[in-house]
Amino acid sequence: MKGADGTRRLFFALWPDADVRKQLAVAARQWTRRPVADANLHLTLQFLGGRTAAELACCREAAGTVQGEAFELQLDYLGGWTKPRVQWLGTSHIPPALLQLVEQLQAALLPCGIDAPTRRYVPHVTLSRKEKNPRVQAGLAPVCWQVEDFVLAESVSTEQGVRYDVLQRWPLSGP
Ligand code: ATP
Ligand code: MG
């Protein structure tokens, strides 16, 4: 769906399969009162914002040049950000392969006119928004996520709230 300026709101992400999604949904219910919709649970790699058709084509090509490796993500850390009022699930062991994937993506997107974010990358799955007093807790029983691909997703706003559509998927290489 295009915005008023003809752009589409895009981001690269890790997309949980049905089993991991179920576990994330359980965690969202356990730790928050108003969990995000199960179908919306994901982990953003890089947010792109509103992009034209030409930029989208460039992003697809760029993603195809990324040579990432598969990795296991252990989500064992409950994080909270007070100002954006977000409760999230993250990890106390960030896999090097995840950081390498993000760095590769950032570099590949530069020729598309997409600058790398200035903020330090914190991998997280948003569990709830508008959380007044987000909590922080380490050492949770981990949600184990075997990451074997990454996706380009579109954020579509609807009357029922935001929805994400997966536009394309790229595999990561096995061990
Ligand atoms: P909404 O903004 O409609 O409440 P949302 O935040 O889930 O819903 P988007 O704003 O389209 O939807 O964001 C899509 C994804 O990109 C989410 O994972 C969001 O956290 C992330 N994201 C959004 N804006 C930024 C940003 N400026 N920097 C980094 N990540 C972002
Ligand atoms: Mg947002």
Domains parsed from the chain with CATH numbers: 8-171 (3.90.1140.10)
Provide the pLDDT confidence category of residue 2 given band limits of 50, 70 and 90. Answer: confident
Q: Which atom of ligand 1 is nearest to the CA of 155?
A: 11
Number of neighbouring beta carbons within 10 Å of residue 160: 7
Residues sharing a CB contact under 8 Å with residue 20, sequence separation 6 or more, in sequence order: 143, 145
**Ligand 1 lined by 11 (C-beta under 6 Å):** yes
**Ligand 1 lined by 77 (C-beta under 6 Å):** no
Expressed in angstroms and rounded, the spacing between residue 96 Cα and the centre of ligand 1 is: 24
Q: Which amino acid is at 10?
A: L
Distance CA 163, CA 165 (A): 7
pLDDT at 1 over 90: no
pLDDT single digits (tens) 30-74: 999 999 999 999 999 999 999 999 999 999 999 999 999 999 999
pTM over 0.85, yes/no? yes
CA-nearest residue for atom 30, ligand 1, is 47
pLDDT single digits (tens) 110-162: 999 999 999 999 999 999 999 999 999 999 999 999 999 999 999 999 999 99
Opening angle at CA 118, ends 86 and 43, nearest 5: 40
Element (H, E) at 20: helix 18-31
47 φ, ψ to 5°? Answer: -90, 130
CA-nearest residue for atom 28, ligand 1, is 47
Give the CA dihedral 53, 55, 60, 63, nearest 10 degrees: -160
